[in-house]
Structure formats: structure tokens, C-alpha cells
Amino acid sequence: MEAIRTTLPQWLLEAFVAATLLGDLLLVAPALALFYLVDVGSSIRRGRREDPLCSDRTAFLIATVFGGLALVVLLESVFALPRPPAEFHVIEPSEFGFPSGHTMAATVFWGALALWLPYGRRSVRLGVAGTVVVLVATSRLALGVHYLVDVVASVAFGAVYLAAVGWLARDRPLRAFFVALGIALAAAVAAGVNGRALLAVVGTAVGLVGWWLVEHPAIRRRVYGAADRLRSDST
């Protein structure tokens, strides 16, 4: 970390400040919302009322990422290891340094996209995801907020988590949401009452309940009916 941090020019450090956002909640959360809205819009345009508004694949992906973000909070609370000395910091970090939350979030988010999105070749998706994860991990070292072991362990944690969810949930979103909620509750117990743990629990619970409500047959019929009326009015 020290070698990377002290040898890079200032302009490249500024580029790494932008690169680290690829594993930031500020990108991950809107991206999940966008995937959901695009999927629902596609279902409404098809107009097949027997189909779910949000496909099981998209709901599974969202639940998986929620669980991965909650796992970051849990592991940071369990290990509670410090970051590198403050004189190396280019940005203001949060309290704990192990594992790297940005690197693990990038591994889970981009890895889930590569594994479960049905677009393009899987090998290409995995290559893109791997490149993004390496870029985010390197950015955390370049910004002086993590040790090498932090980012390497984070990639390993994220990969094992994705494999475990894929095996336990088997592409079923309800199972994936329950796994995510269990992890979030464990994080709340480990972290005590703090904002990140509370956000993990509330966000996962709201995601689960919201998905279940929207997919309820009565609500789904209302949404498709409203869409049909709008199409009729426009013509």
C-alpha cells in the first residue's frame, strides 16, 4: 500500500477517487433501482398478466446484492481492524479497514451481474466484472485507506458469498431475500445500534416486503389494468 500510495502522481490519485465509486453504495443502489424499473417496464409493455412484474432473475440479483452489502457490515463489526495511518489517506474513510467495503461491494455487485444477467457472453461479463473489481481494489490501496490483505480478503469473501447464495437460494428470490435478511440481522447484533447496521436491516426488509407486495396477484392485476387503460387512452 505504501509503495503504491507514495509513487503515484496526483492526477492519477484523482482518477482513483472516481474509480472507487464503482464499488460505492452511491452507484450500487441507483443501479439496482434502475434494473428493477427497466424490468418492470419491460413486463408492462409485454402485457402478459400471468408474468411477474419483476422477473425472478432481477429480484434474485437485487436480494443477493442486499445480502452482500449487509455482509460487509457484519464482517467489519466482527473484525473491527484499523485502517492504515491517517497520513496515507487521500480521502476521509469510515472507521474500520477490514474487509474493504468498496472492494467487497464491487465483487458482489459486478460479480452478480456477470453470473446472472442474461446479456452477452458470460465469459465477457466475467472479464468486465473482474476488471472492475481489480480497479476498485487498486483504488483503495492508491487512496491509502486499505492494506493489501484488506482488498484480497474482500474479493475472497465476496466470491464465497456469491457461491453460497447461488447454492442456497438456487435462483429463487424469496430464498435470497431471507438469506440477506438473516445476514442483516446478524450484522445488527454484531454492530449494535448504528446507522449502517440499521440501514442494512431496514433496506433488506423493505426490499423483501416491497417485492412481495408488488408481486401480489391483486396488485399486479391493478398495475397491468392501469397500463392497459393508459394505452387505450393514448390511442
Give the C-alpha separation, 1 to 140, whole Å.
9
Whole-prediction pTM value?
0.90
- Confidence grade of residue 54 (pLDDT, cut at 50, 70, 90): confident
- Confidence grade of residue 147 (pLDDT, cut at 50, 70, 90): very high
Domain assignment present for residue 114? The answer is: yes
Domain assignment present for residue 145? The answer is: yes
Domain assignment present for residue 184? The answer is: yes
Number of domains in the chain: 1
Q: Is the pLDDT of residue 141 over 90?
A: yes
CA angle 21/56/164 to nearest 5° reads 65
Q: Is the pLDDT of residue 231 over 70?
A: no
Domain assignment present for residue 233? The answer is: no
Domain assignment present for residue 13? The answer is: yes
Mean pLDDT, the chain, integer? 88
Residue 123: CB partners within 8 Å, gap ≥ 6?
Answer: none
Domain assignment present for residue 42? The answer is: yes
Domain assignment present for residue 168? The answer is: yes
pLDDT of residue 233: 63
Q: Which domain holds residue 115?
A: 2-227
Phi, psi of 215 (to 5 degrees): -85, 0
Q: Is the pLDDT of residue 88 over 80?
A: yes
- Confidence grade of residue 228 (pLDDT, cut at 50, 70, 90): low
